[in-house]
A and B are shown apart, each in its own frame.
Chain A
Amino acid sequence: MEDVLLTNKLTKKYGSRLCVSEVSMNIKKGDIYGFIGKNGAGKTTTIKMISGLTKPTAGEITLFGEKNLSKGRCKVGTVIEAPAFVPHLSARDNMYIQWKLLSGQHENVIDETLSLVGLKDVGKKKARDFSLGMKQRLGIGMALMGDPEFLVLDEPVNGLDPEGIVQVRSLLKDLNENRGVTIFISSHLLNELSRLANRYGIINNGRLIDEFSISELETRCKSHLDIKVDDTARALSVLKEACSNAELKLVEGTDTIEVHGYDGRPGELTKILAVNDIFVESVTKSKVDLEDYFMSVVGGEN
């Protein structure tokens, strides 16, 4: 599949402080790429370099297979840090500015985009009087002017209420699925990101420490069983015999045994333990999600 964004050892230094170090990433057409990192990890600096707001100290960026970034950036829509608009103008006037700047399309595209982001009926209300969710949607709407093939969004759901988050998520999914827009999105809300993205990159201390697809994440975050028993030593030997393929781990300081890689029904294990006169207090199925995975990766790094 066609590469939309390719970075090669992208580096940014401010004086002696290294903010982004040799980040090499690859985003393919149709991806929704979730960019994850703590505050100050280098997410925004990376995004600013990709968007042309900051010059890289070293490294290369290729957009749509071209090193001539001016050409490529015409096809990129951005919302960086916060949606940017003229506050004393209406949503339509702000869209008009962006349309005038970029679009070779008919002026109707302004109203179509306003409809798409749910701001068609706001009339002459000034953008500064919008709710946070409306401002975010206006920012995304402005980024959509010029019919971009690639959207770069830095924390687009920051500060939104649950309804606003759902609206932005469904808008982005719609753009990706129905318009084929590739999306690069950074967010702190990892559960939200896990519902949206199909590829992820984790940045920590300026370095891209992991890159994986949704299927790779599922493999890495396989579920396991937590079985709490009254006699862990006996339970371990019984379970070892009963499920030889599974990996068993005693959680230190507790009466809980973790069973990894067991494909059968949890009830089977309970039955075997009960037959061997081991009292089972509880059996729970635990799943590691993106947040847990991120914490384990970043925790390990630190």
Chain B
Amino acid sequence: MGRLLCVDFYKIFRTKFFYVVSLILVGFNVLISVTSVLAGLRNYEKFAFFESKSGAWSVTYANFSNIALLLAILSVLFLCSEFSHGTMKNIATKGFPREFIYLSKFFVGLSCAVFYLLLTIASSLISSLIAGGNRLPSYYSLPSNLALTLLLTLFFLAVYVSIALMIASLVRKSGNSLAIYVVASTLISFLPDLLDNFIRNTLNWDFSISSYVYVRCFNEITQMGIVSNIPSADIVRYVCVGGFFLALTLIIGIYYFRERDI
């Protein structure tokens, strides 16, 4: 496993798309942070919000959502390139268990998630501070829920990596995999809302399916992370929903990767 990880890290750091994705992420973060702060500077009420600790970090938290799609793209390109270059054969013929080969890609994706989280924090804070001049001292102190928000964000980024790898291992072609990922993500974003409407309006039940879908949970974390204390019931829900999707996609991905021909 150690050798597989070494090789996978070497490979990903030698690909262009890793740096291109990183640059795009920084670009998004800078753009969103600067425009938010500049808009706040023009409007006293908004600026007062930015002067508060939670307000200052809200942009950074919101920028975490930028990572999900880019990380999924990176994971798909990384796994599919192994199939398209044929280098997967070089690994699979050497007697490494297929589960380890797949998990190695997953851990590399997870490590990229950690790197992108740090990159997002750094790029968002630095660009906000520069845009705000010396008028945003609250940026220099850390919010109390930062560690929890980071952990939950990382957990859901792991879900996104796992979904992307599962699709890539099933489809094996980067273009097709990305198309399927985008379509599937779009459907998962709005289908549960439609079902919620149906349940509420037609069946008159007070139940929300979308609250138990990873997309909604991730959005809640990145948008509501500014709340000092995330309710413990929500934390349990996030862990259960994230854990379910992570386990499901990992099991499906590993199963098909192990059973199918290379």
Residue numbers of A with Cβ under 8 A of B are 48, 51-55, 69-74, 76, 78, 80-89, 93, 96-98, 100-102, 142, 146
Docked complex: B4-18 residues within 8 A CB-CB of A:
4, 6-7, 10-11, 14-16
**Given known contacts A74-B94, A146-B94, what 8 new A-B pairs fall within 8 Å (CB)?**
A52-B92, A53-B261, A85-B85, A87-B85, A88-B14, A97-B87, A98-B90, A101-B4
Question: Given A53-B93, A74-B94, A80-B93, is A97 in contact with B4 using a C-beta cutoff of 8 Å?
Answer: no
Q: In the complex, which residue of chain A has the Cβ closest to the Cβ of B261?
A: A54
B163 to chain A, nearest CB (A): 25
Q: Is the interface of B mostly helix, strand, loop or mixed?
A: helix
Q: How far is the CA of A101 from the CA of B261 in the complex (A)?
A: 21
Name B10's contact: one of A48, A76, A82, A97 (CB within 8 Å).
Answer: A97
- Quick check: A71 and B6 within 8 Å, CB to CB? no
Question: Given A54-B261, A55-B259, is A97 in contact with B95 using a C-beta cutoff of 8 Å?
Answer: no
B18 to chain A, nearest CB (A): 12
Chain A residues whose C-beta falls within 8 Å of the C-beta of B96 in the assembled complex: 70
Question: Given A78-B89, A142-B90, is A86 in contact with B95 using a C-beta cutoff of 8 Å?
Answer: no
Name A93's contact: one of B4, B6, B14, B261 (CB within 8 Å).
Answer: B14
Chain A residues whose C-beta falls within 8 Å of the C-beta of B90 in the assembled complex: 78, 84, 98, 101, 142
Tell me, yes or no, whether B42 is within 8 Å of chain A by CB: no
- Quick check: B85 and A84 within 8 Å, CB to CB? yes
A83 to chain B, nearest CB (A): 8
Q: How far is the CA of A68 from the CA of B85 in the complex (A)?
A: 28
Tell me, yes or no, whether B91 is within 8 Å of chain A by CB: yes
Docked complex: B81-133 residues within 8 A CB-CB of A:
85-97
Q: In this complex, which of B3, B14, B85, B97 has the most chain A Cβ atoms within 10 angstroms of its Cβ?
A: B85
- Quick check: A69 and B94 within 8 Å, CB to CB? no
B10 to chain A, nearest CB (A): 6
Question: Given A97-B10, A100-B6, A100-B10, is A74 in contact with B89 using a C-beta cutoff of 8 Å?
Answer: no
- Give 9 nearest A-B pairs by CB, closest first: A84-B86, A73-B95, A70-B95, A51-B93, A54-B261, A53-B262, A78-B93, A101-B7, A84-B87
- Quick check: A73 and B94 within 8 Å, CB to CB? yes
Name A82's contact: one of B4, B15, B86 (CB within 8 Å).
Answer: B86
Q: How far is the CA of A142 from the CA of B94 in the complex (A)?
A: 12
Q: How far is the CA of A98 from the CA of B14 in the complex (A)?
A: 15
Q: How far is the CA of A51 from the CA of B262 in the complex (A)?
A: 10
Name B93's contact: one of A52, A55, A82, A96 (CB within 8 Å).
Answer: A52
Chain A residues whose C-beta falls within 8 Å of the C-beta of B6 in the assembled complex: 100
Name A73's contact: one of B10, B85, B93, B259 (CB within 8 Å).
Answer: B93
- Quick check: A102 and B94 within 8 Å, CB to CB? yes
- Quick check: B97 and A70 within 8 Å, CB to CB? yes
Name A52's contact: one of B7, B86, B95, B259 (CB within 8 Å).
Answer: B95
Q: In the complex, which residue of chain A has the Cβ closest to the Cβ of B96?
A: A70
Mind listing 28 A-B residue pairs with CB under 8 Å?
A48-B261, A51-B93, A52-B95, A53-B89, A53-B93, A54-B262, A55-B261, A70-B95, A72-B95, A73-B94, A73-B95, A76-B94, A78-B93, A80-B93, A81-B89, A84-B87, A84-B88, A88-B14, A88-B16, A89-B14, A97-B11, A100-B3, A100-B7, A100-B10, A101-B90, A101-B94, A102-B3, A146-B94
Chain A residues whose C-beta falls within 8 Å of the C-beta of B97 in the assembled complex: 70
Q: In the complex, which residue of chain B has the Cβ closest to the Cβ of A128?
A: B85
Chain B residues whose C-beta falls within 8 Å of the C-beta of A88 in the assembled complex: 14-16
Q: How far is the CA of A87 from the CA of B262 in the complex (A)?
A: 19
Q: How far is the CA of A55 from the CA of B19 in the complex (A)?
A: 37
Chain A residues whose C-beta falls within 8 Å of the C-beta of B86 in the assembled complex: 81-85
Q: In the complex, which residue of chain B has the Cβ closest to the Cβ of A94?
A: B87
Question: Given A81-B86, A84-B85, is A101 in contact with B91 using a C-beta cutoff of 8 Å?
Answer: yes
- Quick check: B94 and A84 within 8 Å, CB to CB? no
Q: In this complex, which of B10, B16, B94 has the most chain A Cβ atoms within 10 angstroms of its Cβ?
A: B94
Q: In the complex, which residue of chain A has the Cβ closest to the Cβ of B258?
A: A55
Chain B residues whose C-beta falls within 8 Å of the C-beta of A97 in the assembled complex: 7, 10-11, 87
- Quick check: B3 and A101 within 8 Å, CB to CB? yes
Q: In the complex, which residue of chain B has the Cβ closest to the Cβ of A80?
A: B89
Q: How far is the CA of A5 from the CA of B260 in the complex (A)?
A: 23
B20 to chain A, nearest CB (A): 13
Q: In this complex, which of B7, B89, B93, B261 has the most chain A Cβ atoms within 10 angstroms of its Cβ?
A: B93
- Quick check: B89 and A84 within 8 Å, CB to CB? yes
Q: How far is the CA of A284 from the CA of B15 in the complex (A)?
A: 62
Docked complex: B215-235 residues within 8 A CB-CB of A:
none
Q: How far is the CA of A52 from the CA of B93 in the complex (A)?
A: 5
B80 to chain A, nearest CB (A): 13
B86 to chain A, nearest CB (A): 3
Chain A residues whose C-beta falls within 8 Å of the C-beta of B261 in the assembled complex: 48, 53-55
- Quick check: A86 and B93 within 8 Å, CB to CB? no
Docked complex: B39-87 residues within 8 A CB-CB of A:
85-87
Chain B residues whose C-beta falls within 8 Å of the C-beta of A101 in the assembled complex: 3-4, 7, 90-91, 94
Name B95's contact: one of A54, A74, A80, A87 (CB within 8 Å).
Answer: A74
Q: In the complex, which residue of chain B has the Cβ closest to the Cβ of A81?
A: B86
A244 to chain B, nearest CB (A): 57
B13 to chain A, nearest CB (A): 11
